[in-house]
Amino acid sequence: MDLFGTSQRNRTDVDSMTAEKIRTLMCDRPPPPRSIAETGLGLNNMISLLLKTMYVRGLETSSQLADALKLNSAIVNSLMEEIKDRALIENLGLAGDGQHSEFRYSLLGKGREWAIEALGLSQYIGPAPVTLADYHRQIDRQRIRHEEIDREALLKGLEGLVVPEKLVRRLGPAINAERSLLLYGPPGNGKTTIAEVIGGIFKQIIHIPYCLDVDGTTIKVFDTTLHKAVDDVSHPEQTLFSSVSLRIDDIDRRWVACTRPVIITGGELTLEMLDLSFNPHARYYEAPLHLKAIGGTFIVDDLGRQLVRPEDLLNRWITPMEKRVDYLTLNTGKTFSIPFDELLIFSTNLLPEDIMDPAFLRRIPYKVELAAPSIESYRTLFQMLCAQHDLEYRDEIPEFVAHELQTTFEQPLSYFQPKFVVEQCIAACKYLGLEVTMSREFLIDAMENLSAKSETARSKDGARANGDGASHTAAKGIASQGFSISK
């Protein structure tokens, strides 16, 4: 359950998707290259990658290499013929039996020298890169604006959350505009939750490359910690894709079918994290977070709490936000562009005017405030929580908690508080071996844990414990009745 009272985020369950559903949701696949020339990669670069793979991983057959490089058999066979002609490998004879047999190969001296020299330039070993031009073309095929979100889809995504109608009305146009969105308001009212839910509403399946090639330099893009792969299409006969009748050579396995990514970063974000990261030892690049988010949603959470000045961080986004393109630079000085095709969401607990000047605020076309809950929303949250924990709901609970927080504890209401209070009462009862009870004592203890209080506040608590603080009707009722809820 999250701070709104929902049990889980509404998102595509890729594990239960049928092949037909995948095909319906999948954007156009990148067409597979049929020859070395169609990959757009230099012949010597491809030879280097193949020889490095043989040298480091000890692979001997064309099928093993095709699987490692994610290339079709025709391209790998052409590469093997090329390096045989150059006397870089030798034939070790057949491996396997019958129709499944194939030749084994081993590196010759010149081949090992080439591999070692190539490793000195870059230690990247893995799927062959895709060219920057092919990457641009694929992004255009699967742009996020191609997936329009209507009111029904938004309500389904927000299902289980306590969300005011005004918020639903404001969010819809912001999502479809493919522009930037600012969520602001006091802490504890679900800005991060709403931002993640927005990203999860998109259902299309897009294709993300394992890595890019820019002027012979490798940039890793696909990240298993950030991207949700729908399937391993390298073995379609064993996957959900089997009923779609795909053959390995009919797809470009250098791309991974994924749900649209939702990537979130917070106070740890620095300007350096928005640039290419070069590994001086492995000698290849890691894509920055916002490049990995292309085709999906990039959330900059807790804006204004980063070590970098807010104005410096925001200035970094001016060109991507206005031109829908970003520019990255290699160590060689080579600068290249990438389409900035993602929904950019800023979230902050601070006042927007305190961290952004008017000029920048104008560049964010959608600004939505997530305010404190009404007492009606507070009641609904408690009802949902009691239902989840199989507890009896009574109106006195939210009335008492809301009154005490606002008067005695001098705290504004927040969406996260009901969940916090209920779970604290449950924990206290478990500790004491009691039936789950929301007594006045347990509720007050829970509210005390919401914040550190001064001696003055503790004195008020003492007076309240002696009966002097129960001025509200609901508070009196709880004090006199020994208010409790049991399973």
Nearest Cα to Cα of residue 196 among 163, 158, 233: 158
Residue 238: per-residue pLDDT: 40
441 in the same domain as 298: no
Instruction: Say if residue 473's pLDDT is above 80.
Output: no
- Final residue before a domain boundary, out of 340, 369, 398: 369
DSSP-derived letter for residue 126 is: S
How is 468-482 classified by DSSP, letter by letter?
SS--SHHHHHHHHHT
User: Is 0.75 surpassed by the pTM of this model?
Assistant: yes
The residue behind tokens 């255009």 is 140
CB 325 within 8 A of CB 339: yes
Calculate the alpha carbon distances from 294 to 22, 55, 268, 325, 335 in Å.
20, 34, 20, 11, 18
397 in the same domain as 358: no
CATH (domain of 308): 3.40.50.300
CB 52 within 8 A of CB 231: no
Q: What residues contact 90, with CB distance under 8 A and at least 6 apart?
A: 105, 106, 108
CB 439 within 8 A of CB 485: no
294 in the same domain as 409: no
**% of the chain with per-residue pLDDT over 70:** 84
The average pLDDT across 45-67 equals 96
**Identity of residue 171:** L
Query: For residues 399 and 478, what is the distance between their CA atoms, to the nearest angstrom?
Result: 10
174 in the same domain as 48: no
The average pLDDT across 167-190 equals 91
Nearest Cα to Cα of residue 238 among 250, 224, 228, 248: 248
281 in the same domain as 173: yes
Structural domain includes residue 265: yes
Sign of the torsion angle spanned by Cα atoms 388, 394, 395, 399: negative
140 in the same domain as 63: no
Mean pLDDT of the chain: 86
Nearest Cα to Cα of residue 11 among 213, 176, 200: 200
Structural domain includes residue 193: yes
Backbone angles phi, psi at 454, to 5 degrees: -80, 175
Backbone angles phi, psi at 202, to 5 degrees: -65, 135
Chain centre distance of CA 353: 28
Residue 311: per-residue pLDDT: 87
More confident residue, 148 or 328: 328
pLDDT confidence bin for 100, thresholds 50/70/90: confident
266 in the same domain as 175: yes
Where would I find the H helices in 58-125? Answer: 62-69, 73-85, 109-121
* Total domains in the fold of the chain: 3
pLDDT confidence bin for 472, thresholds 50/70/90: very low
Instruction: Say if residue 206's pLDDT is above 90.
Output: yes
- Final residue before a domain boundary, out of 127, 152, 171: 127
Instruction: Say if residue 475's pLDDT is above 60.
Output: no
Choice among 27-31, 88-92, 342-346 with the minimum mean pLDDT: 27-31
Residue 485: per-residue pLDDT: 46
- For residue 70, the SS3 value is coil
Nearest Cα to Cα of residue 379 among 349, 413, 331: 413
The average pLDDT across 267-272 equals 92
Query: For residues 469 and 475, what is the distance between their CA atoms, to the nearest angstrom?
Result: 8
The average pLDDT across 154-162 equals 91
Instruction: Say if residue 487's pLDDT is above 90.
Output: no
Where would I find the H helices in 247-374? Answer: 289-292, 310-315, 318-323, 352-355, 358-363
pLDDT confidence bin for 463, thresholds 50/70/90: low
Structural domain includes residue 6: no
**% of the chain with per-residue pLDDT over 90:** 70
More confident residue, 410 or 25: 410
The average pLDDT across 159-173 equals 91
CATH (domain of 58): 1.10.10.10
Instruction: Say if residue 269's pLDDT is above 80.
Output: yes
How is 301-316 classified by DSSP, letter by letter?
TTTT-SSS-HHHHHHT
Backbone angles phi, psi at 106, to 5 degrees: -135, 150
Structural domain includes residue 7: no
Helix (H) or strand (E) holding 202: none
Residue 26: per-residue pLDDT: 83
Tokens representing 72? 């079709």
Structural domain includes residue 5: no
220 in the same domain as 193: yes
| pLDDT digit string, tens, across residues 180-200 | 999 999 999 999 999 999 999
Tokens representing 354? 């305190």
Q: For residue 265, what are the domain limits? A: 14-29+136-369
Residue 17: per-residue pLDDT: 63
Query: For residues 210 and 200, what is the distance between their CA atoms, to the nearest angstrom?
Result: 22
More confident residue, 13 or 431: 431
379 in the same domain as 365: no
Tokens representing 476? 């009196």
The residue behind tokens 């109106």 is 395
Structural domain includes residue 177: yes
Structural domain includes residue 300: yes
164 in the same domain as 47: no
281 in the same domain as 364: yes
- Final residue before a domain boundary, out of 349, 369, 389: 369
CB 227 within 8 A of CB 260: no
Residue 348: per-residue pLDDT: 95
| pLDDT digit string, tens, across residues 278-336 | 999 999 999 999 999 999 999 999 999 998 888 898 889 888 998 999 999 999 999 99
| pLDDT digit string, tens, across residues 230-259 | 864 444 434 444 444 456 667 899 999 999
| pLDDT digit string, tens, across residues 419-455 | 999 999 999 999 999 988 888 999 999 999 987 665 5
Residue 421: per-residue pLDDT: 95
Residue 231: per-residue pLDDT: 66
Query: For residues 230 and 26, what is the distance between their CA atoms, to the nearest angstrom?
Result: 10
Nearest Cα to Cα of residue 382 among 396, 393, 390: 393
Nearest Cα to Cα of residue 438 among 405, 401, 402: 401
Structural domain includes residue 148: yes
183 in the same domain as 55: no
Choice among 3-7, 106-110, 176-180 with the minimum mean pLDDT: 3-7
Instruction: Say if residue 9's pLDDT is above 50.
Output: no
